[in-house]
């Protein structure tokens, strides 16, 4: 039976990424050696990281003066590296979920943290909009896609102070105006690569403004200077990222990724809104294109476990909602084909007929 991979992360990757990375693991460029057993300083690997950086810049139209880095530690380490490198006195955060809150917690160790707005009281079902960014803060931090709650900030907001964004779960799903950001970061394990590498896009001139000592490994300038090779980088995930970026380019770039994401999301949200059994959990205007969250309507709540079983038997993988939301979450990342969304919709319709 065909499996439809709706996992939230690590999650579905393009087949070409998996196949070509597997080939490079067996034999890199016909060298007779595995990608895993050569030095990261060889010409062969330098070409990989150079191409990955170049494709990042090309696909996201990154302006001059920005660096692209591949680091270890996950997005979670960025929660601490960001304040280490940017927070002198005060930082502003938009609290849109657990990940935003974790980022905020780290920043509190470095200075004053202002929560400009929060949707915590509504279990993060919407993106707060009425807030003022304090003009005297060192930066404003947002989480563009809230993986757990299925809400997303789908436009590049204006900020008079340096804007920093966690784009772990929606990078490469739409064109972005990088010039509006001082720094963008994310774990790779959604739209890019297997877990193990973190991407960072940073405006060079935004750095060097804090007075504290920054440990070498946590200083973005170290990694800019050394081309992400101050220490041994995660070579296999970087190789896979390069393959995914090649795939995005060949498929038509981020504009095409956005078109497909809209098409898939319209299909699934359309069914959620039509079907008598289900209801979406996020505010309609803030709905994520990447993580689509829904529950059973109150009067059908006792059917939840049954639908989970019904869908699993039909090949749906990873649709169980996060424990803090419950119900279901269908993650529709770039590599998920439209056919998988159609299969889930068919499954929901079939289940509706039974009840
Ligand atoms: N931010 C967001 C929006 C996430 O979805 C996640 C992981 N699911 C993280 C941060 C944490 O990423 P990591 O596991 O790479 O530290």
Q: For the residues 211-238, what does the mean pLDDT come to?
A: 98
What kind and span of H or E run contains 116? strand 112-118
Q: Choose which CATH entry (3.40.50.300, 3.40.190.10, 3.20.20.140, 3.90.1150.10) describes domain 253-354.
A: 3.90.1150.10
Domain with CATH 3.90.1150.10 in the chain: 253-354
Q: Find the helix packing angle between 15-26 and 235-251, rounded to 10°.
A: 140
Q: What pLDDT shows up at residue 339?
A: 98
Residue 166 known to be catalytic: yes
Q: Give the model confidence (pLDDT) of 99-135 as tens digits.
A: 999 999 999 999 999 999 999 999 999 999 999 999 9
C-alpha dist (Å) from residue 262 to 177, 304, 338: 19, 27, 11
- Residue 311 Cα, ligand 1 centroid: separation in angstroms? 26
From 3, 43, 50, 99, active-site residue: 99
From 166, 170, 219, 286, active-site residue: 166
- CB of 321 within 6 A of ligand 1: the answer is no
Q: What pLDDT shows up at residue 312?
A: 98
Q: For the residues 240-256, what does the mean pLDDT come to?
A: 98
Domain with CATH 3.40.640.10 in the chain: 15-251
- CB of 149 within 6 A of ligand 1: the answer is no
Per the CB < 8 A criterion, the answer to whether 102 and 108 are in contact is no
The CATH number of the domain covering residues in 15-251: 3.40.640.10
Neighbour-count burial of 39, counting CB atoms closer than 10 A to its CB (0-12 exposed, 13-18 middle, 19+ buried): exposed
Q: Give the model confidence (pLDDT) of 58-99 as tens digits.
A: 999 999 999 999 999 999 999 999 999 999 999 999 999 999
pLDDT band at residue 271, thresholds of 50, 70 and 90?
Answer: very high
Per the CB < 8 A criterion, the answer to whether 173 and 254 are in contact is yes
Per DSSP, helices labelled H in 179-320 are 220-225, 235-251, 253-274, 304-313
């Amino acid at each position: 039976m065909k499996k439809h991979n709706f996992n939230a992360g690590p999650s579905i990757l393009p087949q070409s990424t998996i196949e070509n990375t597997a080939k490079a693991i067996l034999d890199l460029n016909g060298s007779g050696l595995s990608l895993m057993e050569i030095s990261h300083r060889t010409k062969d690997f330098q070409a990989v990281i150079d191409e990955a950086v170049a494709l990042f810049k090309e696909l996201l139209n990154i302006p001059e003066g920005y660096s692209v880095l591949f680091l270890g530690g996950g997005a979670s380490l960025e929660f601490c590296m960001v304040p280490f490198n940017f927070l002198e006195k005060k930082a502003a955060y938009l609290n849109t979920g657990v990940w935003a809150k974790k980022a905020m917690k780290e920043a509190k160790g470095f200075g004053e943290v202002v929560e400009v707005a929060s949707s915590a009281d509504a279990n993060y079902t919407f993106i707060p909009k009425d807030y003022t960014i304090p003009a005297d803060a060192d930066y404003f931090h947002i989480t563009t896609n809230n993986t757990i709650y299925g809400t997303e900030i789908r436009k590049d907001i204006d900020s008079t102070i340096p804007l920093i964004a966690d784009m772990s779960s929606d990078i490469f799903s739409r064109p972005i105006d990088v010039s509006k950001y001082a720094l963008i970061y994310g774990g790779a394990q959604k739209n890019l690569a297997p877990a193990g590498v973190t991407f960072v896009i940073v405006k060079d001139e935004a750095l060097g403004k804090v007075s504290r000592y920054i440990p070498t490994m946590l200083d973005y300038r170290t990694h800019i200077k050394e081309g992400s090779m101050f220490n041994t980088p995660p070579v296999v995930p970087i190789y896979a990222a390069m393959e995914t970026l090649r795939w995005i380019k060949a498929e038509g770039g981020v504009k095409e990724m956005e078109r497909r994401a809209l098409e898939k999301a319209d299909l699934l949200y359309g069914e959620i809104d039509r079907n008598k059994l289900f209801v979406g959990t996020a505010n309609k205007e803030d709905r994520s294109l990447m993580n689509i969250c829904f529950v059973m309507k109150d009067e059908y709540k006792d059917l939840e476990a049954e639908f989970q079983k019904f869908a699993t038997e039909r090949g749906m993988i990873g649709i169980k909602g996060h424990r803090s939301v419950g119900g279901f979450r269908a993650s529709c990342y770039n590599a998920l084909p439209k056919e998988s969304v159609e299969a889930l919709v068919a499954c929901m319709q079939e289940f509706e007929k039974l009840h």
